[in-house]
Amino acid sequence: MTAERMEFQAETKRLLDLVVNSIYTNKEIFLRELISNASDALDKLRIESLTNSDLSTGAEAEIFVVPDSATKTITISDNGIGMTREEVIANIGTIAKSGTKDFLEKIRESNGTSAQELIGQFGVGFYSAFIVAEKVELITRKAGTESACKWTSEGAGEYELEECTKDSNGTTIILHLKPEFCGDDEFNFTDTHEIERLIKKYSDFVRYPIKMNYEVKGEDKDAEPTTEVRTVNSMKPLWTRSKSEIKPEEYEEFYKQQLHEWEAPFETFHVKAEGTVEYTALTFIPKHAANNLYYSDYEAGLQLYSRHVFIMDKCKDFLPDYLRFVKGLVDSPDLPLNISRELLQQSREIKVIGKALEKNILKRLGKLLKDERERYEEFWKEFGKSLKMGVYGSMFDTKTQDDLKDLLMFATSHEGKLSTLAEYVERMPESQKKIYIAAGKDVESIERLPQMELLRDRGLEVIYMTDPIDEFVVDVLRKYADKEFQSITRENFELDDAESQKVKAEVEEIAKSHEELLKDVKEAIAEVNEVRLTSKLKSGAVCLATSEQGPSLTMEKTFAAMNNPYFKATQILELNPNHAVFSKLESLHEQGKDTPAFKEMCRTLYSLALLIEGVMPKNPVELANKVTDLLTK
Ligand code: ADP
């Protein structure tokens, strides 16, 4: 049978290039990655054999590592689940994860400077083989099937696939090492003792035996040495050891090995509990958010063990969705070994453990915020969105709202720094009754809003809602420390100080004598619900407000982006009666509400108000023509 040549999916190719060419200071990690995959394959077989007895071969699950200086290879085999031909193409020839594009985009933008860190976030597992190998062969046979297939690649964009034979299920990976990795230089991955050291260092707690061949010389010095098989790893689960004995490096290695991570965790939680439910949990907050954290293919969840035996990966029932970024495991003797996913959801033990873990994580975050502000901000930049989603999802769950509201951070007009709500309230002057917020696509566009001018003048601080979810979050919270949130672009916004109230009364007087004008302006602009005069503008001529209830303009944009065009903001056009444009409008009105000049003026003012809010007017050309007219006059 001839081999078939296939191309890597384009994105895979690019990622491969990056892995191989980015300067890995740590060439050794390929072994950890491949052993980790082998261990997963053994887990999968064990779990599947629970429900499919045809799969259990009776063979002891094991991983074999064979370095060979004669052939300049190192071979890693497992007798796990194996892969079918289609699975090889899907798993090894492509990278199916969402966010790959974003990821590559980010790398491109960073000009390669932080490529290594970014790859760390992504995790490229199998491809790390090409860091040390010039050619990789993978021979695999899926458990329960007869046919095997062989995949070969030199990592240059193409791979070959051919049918072959293999005695038993599992996967064998042969790395043909680059010359620099089999000599006497820094690295010699064909050396048994070197490999033994690496296995002990990176893979000691792998729960299956990792075996190697050792040459042993007998008493008789002239006799040929015999080969003896030894298990290299201790297999003792790290989490069963006492906390005081575990060094930070050990946690770090465990995290990388067990959870396929490439960089140290941000925070580690190791808890042993012996209350109503007995359990040990070892969980971590990663340093960086996974690229697909908010995509549907991100699989959250903790690994589940019972009496140190692996039961299931990605058990989602422990932690609430807003802690989806937390990784790790739970080991509890109170859980039965062959529990199904459906039963798990109803398990009281899982609920008890989950609640305790959640509480513990939130407590640590609160402490971090208090004692290590900078680190908390680092955390916030990566995972703040998740906590905000937690608040948003807790519409009827005031307990979660209470738990999370003090952990929220926002940019504000105060020194451009991130603030908690408590800090904002602390700085509020006594006369200020509400918490002011303003939404926009970024800090700059909010600061340019004409409504900001007066607030700046009065030294009032505004919270900037730059993430589309922010307004929804405060909508759910409604209040903080008994103070309502007030958007400065909502119709009911007004300033409480005496000066502002005085101006407001004056404007109301003017409005009374201009009812006719306002009615006619509204008639000229079908899109707005109301036209009124405002005291909230200083040098600006117009602005758009939205009704007190219902979506804001930024919310409308978010809904539209989610293909939901029915949620529309109720628009109110507000005019500054102290602006010269207003007098112009008045004089045009005097010439008749149906004159083209008056109508055009109204439409132009509306288009300008939209632009200020960052909304594109329906007919931008009309506006452009108008402006060009003015420029040439
Ligand atoms: P990850 O392990 O993060 O999913 P990898 O690139 O390491 O990414 O592996 C891709 C996929 O290939 C794995 O998810 C698994 O399905 C499959 N795979 C890799 N190694 C093995 C193996 N030894 N046995 C069976 N399947 C494997």
CA dihedral 414, 416, 421, 422 (to 10 degrees): -60
**In this predicted model, what pLDDT tens digit does every residue of 7-34 receive, in sequence order?**
777 767 766 676 666 545 568 878 988 9
- The gap between the terminal CA atoms of the chain, to the nearest Å, is 81
CA of 37 from ligand 1 middle (Å) equals 5
Asked whether 97 lines ligand 1 (CB < 6 A), one says no
By alpha-carbon position, which residue is closest to atom 14 of ligand 1?
91
Which residues make beta-bridge pairs with 159?
A: 6, 153
Index of the ligand 1 atom closest to the CA of residue 38: 23
Alpha carbon separation from 539 to 226, 339, 453, 576 (Å, rounded) = 92, 68, 8, 8
Rounded (5°) CA angle 358-363-368:
125
| Beta carbon of 35 within 6 Å of any ligand 1 atom | no
Distance CA 284, CA 574 (A): 51
Nearest CA to ligand 1 atom 4: 125
Counting ligand 1 atoms within 8 A of each CB, the residue from 126, 139, 175, 210 with the most, and so the one to mutate, is: 126
Distance 461 CA to ligand 1 centre (A): 52
Q: Are the CB atoms for 42 and 80 separated by under 8 Å?
A: yes
- Ligand 1 atom with the smallest distance to the CA of 80 is 24
How far is residue 615's CA from residue 611's CA, in Å, rounded to a whole number? 5
String of DSSP letters for 13-65: HHHHHHHHHS--S-TTHHHHHHHHHHHHHHHHHHHHHHH-GGG---PPP-EEE
Contact 45, 81 (CB under 8 A): yes
Q: Is the CB of 328 under 6 A from ligand 1?
A: no
Q: Is the CB of 93 under 6 A from ligand 1?
A: no
Residue 81 Cβ < 6 Å to ligand 1 = yes
Residue to mutate (ligand 1; options 8, 18, 35, 91; most atoms within 8 A of CB): 91
- What is the distance between the alpha carbons of residues 439 and 467, in angstroms, rounded to a whole number? 8
Residues 6 or more apart in contact with residue 445 via CB below 8 angstroms: 614
Q: How far is the CA of 125 from the centre of ligand 1 (A)?
A: 7
Distance 160 CA to ligand 1 centre (A): 18
Q: How far is the CA of 275 from the centre of ligand 1 (A)?
A: 38
| pLDDT on residue 6 | 80
Class of domain 408-487: alpha beta
Locus of tokens 């199998």:
126
What pLDDT shows up at residue 23? 46
Based on its alpha-carbon atoms, the radius of gyration of the chain, rounded to whole angstroms, reads: 32
Cβ of 37 below 6 Å from ligand 1? yes
pLDDT below 50 — which residues of the chain?
A: 23, 96
pLDDT in tens, 433-475: 999 999 998 999 999 999 999 999 999 999 999 999 999 999 9
Compute the half-sphere exposure of residue 401: CA atoms within 13 Å on the CB side of its CA: 17
**Sequence-ordered list of residues with C-beta below 8 angstroms from that of 256, at least 6 positions apart, any chain:** 29, 32, 202, 262, 263, 264
Chain centroid to Cα 485, Å, comes to 28
Going by C-alpha positions, the residue among 175, 142, 218 that lies closest to residue 68 is 175
Integer angstrom CA distances of residue 450 from 230, 287, 410, 488, 526: 75, 39, 21, 10, 23
Q: Are the C-beta atoms of residues 460 and 432 closer than 8 Å to each other?
A: yes
Assess whether the C-beta atom of 80 lies below 6 angstroms from ligand 1.
yes
Question: Which residue's CA lies nearest to atom 9 of ligand 1?
Answer: 126
User: Distance from the CA of 126 to the center of ligand 1, in angstroms?
Assistant: 6
Q: Find the 68 Cα to ligand 1 centroid distance in Å.
A: 24
CA dihedral 190, 196, 200, 204 (to 10 degrees): 90
What is the distance in A from the centroid of ligand 1 to the CA of 171? 10
**Ligand 1 atom 18, closest CA:** 37
What CATH architecture is 238-373? 2-Layer Sandwich (3.30)
Domain ranges of the chain: 4-231, 238-373, 408-487, 500-632
Pick 500-632's CATH classification: 3.40.50.620, 1.20.990.10, 1.20.120.790, 3.40.50.10680.
1.20.120.790
Atom 7 of ligand 1, nearest CA residue: 125
Is 265 close to ligand 1, i.e. is its CB under 6 Å away?
A: no
User: Which residue has the least CA distance to atom 23 on ligand 1?
Assistant: 38
HSE toward the beta carbon, residue 143, CA cutoff 13 A: 24
Pairing label, strands 418-419, 327-331: unpaired
Distance 249 CA to ligand 1 centre (A): 26
Give, as one character, the DSSP assignment of residue 142: -
Closest atom of ligand 1 to 33 CA is: 7
Centre of ligand 1 to C-alpha 28, Å, is 18
Predicted pLDDT at 300: 94
Where helices occur in 428-497 by DSSP H, the ranges are 443-447, 452-457, 468-477
Q: How far is CA 283 from the centre of its chain?
A: 17
Between CA 588 and CA 598 the distance in angstroms is 5
What is the Å distance from ligand 1's center to 119 Cα? 17
Q: Return the CATH superfamily for domain 4-231.
A: Histidine kinase-like ATPase, C-terminal domain (3.30.565.10)
Report the C-alpha gap between 587 and 517 in whole angstroms: 10
Q: What one-character DSSP code corresponds to residue 90?
A: H
Q: 3-state class of 569 per DSSP?
A: coil
